[in-house]
Amino acid sequence: MTTKERIRAGFLLLDGAMGTALQRAGLAPGEKPESWNLSHPDVIESVHRRYVDAGADLILTNTFGLNAFRFEEAALKDLVFAAVACARRAIGDRDVLVGLDIGPCGKMLAPLGDTDVETVIAVFRQVAALGAQAGADLIFIETMNDLAEARAAVIGAKEGCELPVIVSNAYGADGRLLTGADPETVVTVLEGLGVDALGVNCSQGPEGLAPIVETYLKLASVPVLVKPNAGLPRVENGETVYDLSPADFCAAMRPLIRAGARLLGGCCGTDERYIAGLKALLSGETPLPLTEKNRCAVASARRTVSFGDGVVLIGERLNPTGKKRLRQALREEDLAYLLGEAVSQEEAGAAVLDVNVGDPEVDEKTLLPRLIDEIGAVTDLPLQPDSADSAAMEAALRRYPGKALINSVNGTEESMNAMFPLAKKYGGVLIALTLDETGIPETAEGRLAVAKKILARAKDFGLTEKDLVFDPLAMAVSADPGAALVTLEAVRRIREELHCHTSLGVSNVSFGLPARDGVTAAFFTLAMQAGLSAAIMNPLSGEMMRAVLCYRALTGADEGFRDYIAAAERFTVTARASGGSKPADGADTVREAVEKGLRAKAAALCRETLKERDGLAVIREEIIPALDRVGEGFENKTLFLPQLLMSAEAASAAFEEIRAAAPARERAGGMPVVLATVKGDVHDIGKNIVKLLLQNFGFTVTDLGKDVPPERVVDAARETGAALVGLSALMTTTVPAMEETIRALRKETPRVKIAVGGAVLNPEYAAAIGADFYGRDAMETVRFAERLRDEEKASNGGKTE
């Protein structure tokens, strides 16, 4: 029997705690347990032997924290080999598996932490490869409290070796991982990566873990593992003891075993008596059979969306086709605009967001993963990277901390050969377009045939029905009056004959007709009735959202018409507000709205004002005077930072309207400024405030972000021809990096002025490290920049205006 078969064959008894045993044997607090593989191999071996003697079928090496983040590169190999050797000696000739144990790497992944996912994948890859060389039977990833890290560990392990991979997570008292994922999402994402078993360890005793284990058993098709603590810890006579005896522990494990858990062991506080107890317990139990759950689901790092319960709305607005403003935002990497589009679709009711950056002037392979990262930071919705470029798709999928909806594959060999391996390796559900080398079949029969071909080919790659959502292609009825009926028929037959889910880009159907939304919404209703599982659509369209609400109300899916009635109230309120008298939020002009920090109001009033006055006039007569007044208020301490920021945001919203009204015209080139938080420092709130205000006052800001090395600041200053560089540092430990950056700038770009700011600085300190200016707050920096601009204008004889 192979190891993979053995994992699935029946019960598998695991070992108990290693750490607790080593502490009892004299491991000092702060000492690294993994170093004992070389310094005390006899102790490690004896702990393993006690578990093997107690009946364990799988023991885990003493390598929990063994990785390049914590140990010298040179020591890693010897320690891994020693660890596996200790386990092998303890086993002797008995038939017991050795799992290479891998715990969290000790770094938090970006964006919460400062470590890039590729670095983490590489660290796990190295350890897994060493484990395989040393002769481990499988890779056991455990106690993971961040789903993104668990995912990186699985990808690393699979790149480092071909051994089976088991993953176990540690949950908080709230039943979620530290970084917010619920059990359903953990199962969805890790099963998508093709792990051989998954489960929970540590966290609590068996009873506390029961609800999580039940969710796993309900959703997972692979064997489920449970390795709890011996209850809760308490201190007794100066020693930490756990409140469950071996007998109590086994009694609490029994219901989990009967519910279907198959890989069983203990974590903190358990020893060989607990494992011997489990051994005795298992001899009287029969493992429940494994069942294929066939779940078609995608997930973000924190939330799951399943196909099959109601139509899944996929927001289509982050796609530049036919959208000038979005195209411009992509080219300029205008994240504020792009993220705004993401959030507005979420608020309107989208369940998944499509992300397409296809534009001849954009490098998809760089921008798609970057945008996926950024959107992931502002929304919990699962994402749908949308690209025909498999390199860009892979770059995005490697980083995405969930299970993506992949848009798309089609029936051509080239597409299937490129996309299927990506879905298999990184997890993901593929949108499969029913077209191939011969084009789009004209009949439903033809599209079904392509779908069958795609499904058969997918199975060659180890994918199944649950990994595909077919898109039988909505075509324009204006070009062919029978087009809609063919598509609807294809939806119905794919559902009935292939038992697969379907999706449509519904708005194509109305192409070429006037008042398209109504036609699209009617088609959408017909498609839902034909069994459509998902639609790529515009969630900001009232007609489309109403079609969903009405369909659900008419088909008994909206209990008590709750959603319909709630939405109907919203519709009427909106209608009244737009038609009736002005709401009393106290602003009649853009200037007032900006002064009062009313973001939505400023945008709405600006939109109105632009019908009568041009953009430059609005900026000069409304926005700038308002900002000046707010800025003065801040300087005179009659207004405070929160109000200043709200006004700045309101001004940004007004500027956005001005841009949208004249998208073709290049923005008047303001004086270029480069901003950065210096190397080693990760605080960027202050720098972001300065950026917002500088932009408001008409400067062209290049923001390099945080933790920026000196050479990148110098490069940016040179490339942009910056007149001013602003540097921020909040920690005393990073002021030397600021000084170094200033030295580099003085040497390479002697003309540029340098302003510094941050909590650790003062004017004297700033002068001592060579800065031209110390900004006590954001407004001071704006005023300094304005002075520079005036000087520049004066020296150019006012030519720049």
Partner 1 sequence: MTERGVCDYPALPVNKEEIARYAGCPRGVLPPLLEACLAEAAGAVQNRVAWACFSVSLTDEGMDLGFCKTPSRDLARNLLGCERIVLFAATVGAGMDRLVQKYARLSPAKAQLFQAIGAERVETLCDAFCRDFGKDVPLRPRYSPGYGDLPLSVQRDVFAALPLEKSLGLTLGDNLLITPTKTVTAIAGW
Footprint of partner 1 (CB under 8 A)? 29-30, 104, 106-108, 111-115, 143, 145-146, 170, 172-174, 178-180, 233-235, 238, 240, 335-336, 339-340, 343, 374, 377-378, 597, 599, 637, 640-643, 645-646, 648-649, 680-682, 684-685, 688-689, 692, 731, 733-734
Task: Give me the least distance between CB of 304 and partner 1, in Å please.
Answer: 18
Alpha carbons within 13 angstroms on the beta-carbon side of residue 800 total: 14
| Single-letter amino acid, residue 192 | G
> Residue 565 or residue 685: which is nearer to partner 1 going by CB?
685
Please say which residue, 705 or 721, places its beta carbon nearer to partner 1: 705
How far, rounded to the nearest angstrom, does the alpha carbon of residue 25 sit from its chain's CA centroid? 42
Considering beta carbons, is residue 122 or 682 the nearer one to partner 1?
682
Please say which residue, 55 or 597, places its beta carbon nearer to partner 1.
597
Minimum distance from residue 379 beta carbon to partner 1 (Å): 8
Segment holding 170, helix H or strand E = none
Shortest Å distance, C-beta 515 to partner 1: 33
Residue pair 363/353 in contact (Cβ under 8 Å)? The answer is no
**Which residue, 170 or 395, has its beta carbon nearer to partner 1?**
170
Closest CA to 244 of 214, 267, 218, 217: 267
d(CA 181, CA 147): 7
Of 149 and 394, the one with the shorter C-beta distance to partner 1 is 149
We find the least distance from the C-beta atom of residue 600 to partner 1, in angstroms, to be 12
User: CA angle at residue 428 from 424 to 432, to 5 degrees?
Assistant: 90
**Pairs from 478-483 (Cβ < 8 Å, separation ≥ 24):** 478/510, 478/511, 478/512, 478/513, 479/511, 479/512, 483/509
> Considering beta carbons, is residue 104 or 710 the nearer one to partner 1?
104
User: Helix crossing, 516-529 with 483-498: angle to 10°?
Assistant: 30
How do strand 165-169 and strand 97-102 relate by DSSP bridges? unpaired
Q: Is 613 exposed, middle or buried (0-12, 13-18, 19+ CB in 10 A)?
A: middle
Locus of tokens 């001004």: 651
Cα–chain-centroid distance for residue 336? 18
- Shortest distance (Å) from residue 494 CB to partner 1: 38
Smallest distance from partner 1 to CB 170, Å? 7
> Which two tokens mark 365?
């392979």
Pick from 45, 25, 150: which is nearest to 98 by CA? 45
How far is the C-alpha of 179 from the C-alpha of 196, rounded, in Å?
A: 24
Closer by beta carbon to partner 1, 19 or else 349:
19
Tokens of 632: 């003065």
**CB 178 → partner 1: shortest distance, Å?**
4
> Which is closer to partner 1, CB of 115 or CB of 525?
115
Q: What's the closest the beta carbon of residue 204 comes to partner 1, in angstroms?
A: 11
Q: Is the CB of 6 or the CB of 687 nearer to partner 1?
A: 687
- Comparing CB distances to partner 1, the nearer of 202 and 536 is 202
Burial class (CB in 10 A: 0-12, 13-18, 19+), 211: exposed
Residue with smaller CB distance to partner 1, 153 or 547: 153
Indicate the residue type of 709: P
Closer by beta carbon to partner 1, 143 or else 410: 143
Report the alpha-carbon distance of residue 384 to residue 407 in Å, rounded: 6
Residue 533's φ and ψ, nearest 5 degrees, are -95, -25
Minimum CB separation from partner 1 for residue 511, in Å? 33
DSSP 92: T
Report, in Å, the least distance between residue 645 CB and partner 1. 4
For residues 418 and 424, give the distance between their C-alpha atoms in angstroms, rounded to a whole number: 11
Q: What is the DSSP letter of 510?
A: G
Taking the complex as a whole, the smallest distance from the CB of residue 98 to partner 1 amounts, in Å, to 23
Residue 114 Cβ vs partner 1, minimum distance, rounded to whole Å: 5
Angle between the N-to-C axes of helices 272-283 and 246-259, in degrees from 0 to 180, rounded to the nearest 10: 40
Cα gap 516→520, rounded to integer Å: 6
Q: In this structure, what token pair is assigned to residue 315?
A: 């927001």
Q: Which is nearer to partner 1, 179 or 520 (CB)?
A: 179
Minimal distance, residue 336 CB to partner 1, in Å: 7
Q: Which residue's CB is nearer to partner 1, number 45 or number 146?
A: 146
At position 520, the amino acid (one-letter code) is T
Nearer to partner 1, 639 or 725 (CB): 639
Identify the CA nearest to 50 among candidates 81, 19, 28, 18: 18
User: Which pairs count as long-range contacts for 708-714, CB under 8 Å and 24+ apart, including other chains?
Assistant: 708/676, 708/677, 708/678, 708/679, 709/679, 710/678, 710/679, 710/737, 710/740, 710/741, 710/743, 710/744, 710/745, 711/744, 712/676, 713/674, 713/676, 713/741, 713/744, 713/745, 714/744, 714/745, 714/748, 714/749
Closest separation between CB of residue 113 and partner 1, Å?
A: 4
Q: How far is the CB of 274 from partner 1 (least distance, A)?
A: 19
Q: Of 217, 161, 150, which is closest to residue 189 (Cα–Cα)?
A: 150
Task: Give min distance, CB of 111 to partner 1, in A.
Answer: 5
